[in-house]
Amino acid sequence: MKQINLKEFLELPISKQIEYTLLLDAQKPKELIKVKIEQLSYNDVKQCFKELKKTNSNIEFIFTNALKISKDDYLNLPIQNYFVIKKYIEKYFISLYENEIKLLQSIDADAGLWELAGGNELNEFSDVLPLSQLAKIYGGYPFDLGEKNYIEIIYLLRMNNKQAKVENEYQILKSKQK
């Protein structure tokens, strides 16, 4: 197998691309280039989540967005590194998504009532709804908050989630004292 970069790989005939893919797809994921999560905005991460969910995701977008590299840097990646990093990025964002769900998940006794009231209709706004909740608490326009750092937004969402649980428990305990 010849040492080539991604641009050269993309210019190969499909049969050659398949050969490379079959050989290189078996490699284990490695962090050859670090995902700079501290530099990614909430919107950046959500766009990567959406893109990875698609069957024909735009890998170039994910690389350039998540790794903060230029298109030229992307195309000049050695093909072996490309496959290793691609797997790493997919694994990284899947793990990040699962962790986000766990961190923000709230087990609420009123969840059934929420669903009966039509809470599921809000699912189409799932990316913006947390920002809307933060905007209500801290002020501001929800879409502006999307440009804030992902880690900060998740931290605030988690903190407010925990605070709401504690306040709910407090109200339950307080009502039992009466």
Of the two residues 149 and 123, the one the predictor is more confident about is 149
Query: pLDDT, tens digit, for every residue of 70-100?
Result: 999 999 999 999 999 999 998 999 999 998 8
**Backbone phi, psi, residue 22, to 5°:** -60, -40
Report H helices in 68-149. 71-75, 79-104, 111-116, 129-138, 142-145
Classify 33 as helix, strand or coil: coil
* pLDDT of amino acid 120: 75
Q: Are 45 and 150 in contact, with CB atoms under 8 Å apart?
A: yes
Which has the closest alpha carbon to 126: 89, 101, 96?
A: 101
Query: pLDDT, tens digit, for every residue of 22-35?
Result: 988 888 877 788 88
User: Any idea where the domains of the chain sit in the sequence?
Assistant: 6-103, 108-177
**Backbone Cα Rg of the chain:** 21
Please return the burial class of 116, using the count of CB atoms within 10 Å of its CB with bins 0-12, 13-18 and 19+.
Answer: exposed
* Rounded Cα distance, 23 and 126, in Å: 39
Looking from the CA of 71 toward its CB, the CA atoms found within 13 Å total 2
**Tokens matching residue 121:** 């209709």
